[in-house]
Structure 1
């Protein structure tokens, strides 16, 4: 236990033995700071999240929180973390920012959660940043690649998780520059930070003139025909997507009806094969040759020890749900949260866990390291290319590392980690 980093309140002298007995009976224990921490008891930790279990982003994304819970249940069955079992309270926000504010307030003020873990969505989560900051709630591993989560001075309790959209787009653009330099490159993205940050990464590498046509969509309108028509009219040969899975399928399907067949290339957000193929149904073969980036191991890589571990947990604790990239995503989040708790030690407060994460040391299944520090809350810092062939999505080429700034895209050579023997981090 690295006790030097934990906040402790001085012991207050009490005047009577009966009062001491009362405090002990109420679970006062040896660490009064832990005892007064919301959501934490001697044998439990309550955390929560907001997820689109319904609505325009539910396809695929609704399977993330069950995967995280499955990993927590696996850990709980083996004794939990420092004697505490994790309860994960998931509330549906329908990918609607107004709903998100309502359910997050319930989680914090009514349910008294210790932390919010993996709240999903750029437009949704943006609206609760100030609330979580004001209430000093750890806002961990946000399920979005927006650069907004990496503002440690403004939002000291918020941490990203996935490679940010700009980072992924810089890796994509590097591939385009090296392999598709003679093609007309265009862009279709969500009308928020998701789209803006992705476009920023593309133009950093390709230049402002390197992206000819730029179109956006809103999640409340599922007709993307006008946007796809403009991309076709502009002679686009490569189309970079900043789309959630349902809109990836809409874009590909609409383009096929318009006899428009560009080379698609997407961030990991909208590229999970199982999810998009499921949305396309019989039209799934349209995904042949679809390119994307990712920062977590491939669900199809049975030689990867993390995939072997997660498949076993999925079978035993997730009712045998389909194993997809979103399953890998959800279980990775669960692993990192458990790892942070292990490293924190038994004496747990909200601030002590934030301090622990800022010390670095978290790794997990990612293809490259996490960048967490006191000055960096951004998460994974790179990606690798992937291609759909038939019904698999295989990675190829080197793993690249970069950031959302001017750092050039460079090959990452340190290699990935392997899971501990029983799949539970010990420190």
Structure 2
């Protein structure tokens, strides 16, 4: 057995193992496939690394990784994946790129995880993506929609999960162009790659109507509030407010708009559609008629009350996350992402090398997840690192999100 495989097994189990002659090698004529391992994998365990904002400006998103940890525990209680238990090692990076670099290096060089999973944030992930690809470690289902995360040529070891930000915001641009052709538009976005990606997609979707954008205001994620930014946007004379802020700031924007008596057509980024984490703090009445797009089922939507996928999700929440709000879209996100990774690991069978993990992630063919909308499934290939490419518009009715129109293609031009 290769030395690095023995080291990975020892690190994973924390005990000295007796290496048997011929272990994990198929005997001549055996029907069993040869077992293959890279660091982080063994006969009994698979180490998965993650960074998440348990603290800092996006701390409300920390529930995503906590949901994933609970999902993997459920899988382990059921016997694991192909007989192996998932060791989910998740570190707090506080949504700070320098911290992400530190924690990612620790996961790869010291903990020796097999792969990285669902690292959250555009600026944080961008701070490590070159390093991860140089080390040839799979970086799967990144919890951010930067278009670059699907660039299979530049970053062959990385893969997004949700629709790219440009794909999503093109949908909003197209919707506004078709329904409010003369509407004046004001945009709030963060002063980082997340914000810039969103702006580009919006203007691409607007096309000839991009000139309708009369105000663009950015904020720093380290700022305490965005009150002054909202006042500037109101006094631009815009009748349409495109809110591309992350959760905390999106809630502030919704609340402040109501306080200053500004009642524009309100477009909200899909990342901030959580009722419990964003809309409730902002005031549900203040959020009425906000429009966003989604690819996931809303557990509170009566349309899914008899849905088998929702039943499995609800059972999971009751048993493994009691007391948590199952209507929180971040919980739904974490559940979907964890289920997707388990699907990839199942496909790997006994070949748990990093190269094969990546091959299987690139071989999803219409994989269905419990909490995706029925006509949306995961499809990938070596030249397609965008697993989800459809979304549907929805409007908040004061209590729940109500879908309208039909499913919309993400409209991402692949290269």
Same fold (TM over 0.5): yes
**Aligning the two structures, in what range does the TM-score lie when normalised by the shorter sequence?**
0.7 to 0.9
Q: Is the 8 A contact 2:367 2:377 kept in 1?
A: yes
Over residues 94-138 of structure 1, what are the superposed CA-to-partner deviations in whole Å (9 max), with x where a residue is unaligned?
111111111111111111111111000001111010111122111
1:30 pairs with one of 13, 25, 31: 25
Cα 1:239/1:163, change in 2 over 3 Å: same
User: Residues of 2 paired with 1:44 and 1:67: CA distance?
Assistant: 20
2:319 corresponds to which residue?
316
Range with bigger deviation, 263-272 or 29-38: 29-38
User: Residues of 1 paired with 2:185 and 2:268: CA distance?
Assistant: 13
After TM superposition, give the deviation of residue 225 of structure 1 in Å: 2.4
After TM superposition, give the deviation of residue 188 of structure 1 in Å: 0.9
Matched, 1:240 2:242: yes
User: Residues of 1 paired with 2:338 and 2:314: CA distance?
Assistant: 14
Matched, 1:381 2:389: yes
1:287-306 correspondence runs (5 A): 287-301=287-301, 302-303=304-305, 304-306=307-309
1:123 corresponds to which residue?
123
1:12-411 correspondence runs (5 A): 23-24=19-20, 28-30=23-25, 36-59=37-60, 61-207=61-207, 208-280=210-282, 283-301=283-301, 302-303=304-305, 304-323=307-326, 324-361=328-365, 363-365=367-369, 366-367=372-373, 368-405=376-413
After TM superposition, give the deviation of residue 178 of structure 1 in Å: 2.9
Q: Residue 365 of structure 2: SS of its match in structure 1? A: coil
User: Residues of 2 paired with 1:145 and 1:312: CA distance?
Assistant: 29
Please report the RMSD computed on the Cα atoms of aligned residues, expressed in angstroms. Answer: 2.3
Q: Is the 8 A contact 1:336 1:362 kept in 2?
A: no
User: Residues of 1 paired with 2:411 and 2:39: CA distance?
Assistant: 35
Q: Is the 8 A contact 1:203 1:210 kept in 2?
A: no
Structure 2 residue runs of 5 or longer lacking an equivalent are 3-16, 27-32
Cα 1:347/1:253, change in 2 over 3 Å: same
2:11 corresponds to which residue?
none
Structure 1 residue runs of 5 or longer lacking an equivalent are 1-7, 10-20, 408-427
After TM superposition, give the deviation of residue 34 of structure 1 in Å: 5.2
After TM superposition, give the deviation of residue 351 of structure 1 in Å: 0.4
After TM superposition, give the deviation of residue 362 of structure 1 in Å: 5.3
1:418 corresponds to which residue?
none
Cα 1:265/1:69, change in 2 over 3 Å: same
TM-score (norm 1): 0.85
Q: Is the 8 A contact 2:50 2:91 kept in 1?
A: yes
